[in-house]
């Protein structure tokens, strides 16, 4: 089933200034599909965030890996991001990027006693794929956030700082390199 848009690329002046500055470079590096997934995610999410952006990248990567494995059917997702921000923001991006949504009954949260992580399992056909953010990227986020809190507390400049981090991670981090990829037995 098709969506509603024939094309998603808009002229740069349709985007916020900081996003407009990176349209061409980001599309060239990561492709139109990632651009679309991250923009839609953050519009739905209500602000441009780190974990929502990572979720879109992770969800899109899952679809690509399943296509490469010959699985063309709809995916189901089990997220380990929990329901408490900021990590739970990953869930918005996972739904948009993977196409598996709560509304379709193909998206669920793992029980909280299994721990909170930037991780998800994707199921399609007879295959199960687990993706998780590599430790070095998790540590980078934690360090950058710690630095932001030290500098700004939780003031308006702090949220501007977080947005700048999300933009930087979106542009610089390649979805094919930032996640640990593990195929599991069903």
How many whole angstroms separate alpha carbon 21 and alpha carbon 91? 27
Residue 71 lies in a domain: yes
The CB-side HSE value for 134 (13 A sphere, CA atoms) comes to 11
Q: Per the domain annotation, does 10 fall within a domain?
A: no
pLDDT digits over 9-41, tens only? 788 889 999 999 999 999 999 999 999 999 999
Q: Residue 118 is part of which domain span?
A: 17-184
Whether residue 178 is contained in a domain is answered as yes
Q: Give the count of domains, the chain.
A: 1
Q: What CATH number does the domain containing 35 carry?
A: 3.30.1330.130
Largest Cα–Cα separation, the chain: 49
Tens-place pLDDT, residues 87-137: 999 999 999 999 999 999 999 999 988 899 999 999 998 999 999 999 999
DSSP H or E segment with residue 160: helix 156-172
- Does some domain include residue 136? yes
Residue 74 lies in a domain: yes
Q: Is residue 2 part of a domain?
A: no
């Amino acid at each position: 089933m098709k969506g509603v848009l024939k094309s998603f690329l808009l002229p740069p002046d349709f985007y916020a200034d900081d996003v407009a500055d990176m349209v061409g470079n980001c599309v060239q590096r990561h492709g139109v599909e990632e651009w679309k997934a991250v923009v839609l995610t953050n519009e739905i999410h209500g602000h441009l965030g780190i974990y929502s952006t990572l979720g879109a990248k992770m969800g899109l990567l899952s679809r690509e890996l399943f296509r490469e494995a010959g699985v063309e059917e709809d995916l189901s997702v089990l997220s380990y991001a929990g329901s408490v921000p900021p990590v739970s923001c990953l869930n918005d991006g996972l739904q948009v990027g993977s196409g598996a949504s709560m509304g379709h009954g193909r998206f669920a949260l793992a029980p909280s006693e299994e721990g909170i992580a930037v991780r998800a399992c994707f199921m399609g056909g007879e295959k199960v794929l687990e993706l998780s953010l590599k430790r070095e990227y998790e540590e980078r986020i934690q360090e950058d956030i710690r630095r932001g809190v030290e500098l700004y507390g939780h003031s308006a400049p702090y949220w501007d700082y977080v947005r700048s981090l999300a933009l930087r991670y979106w542009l610089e981090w390649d979805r094919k390199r930032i996640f640990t990829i593990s195929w599991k037995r069903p």
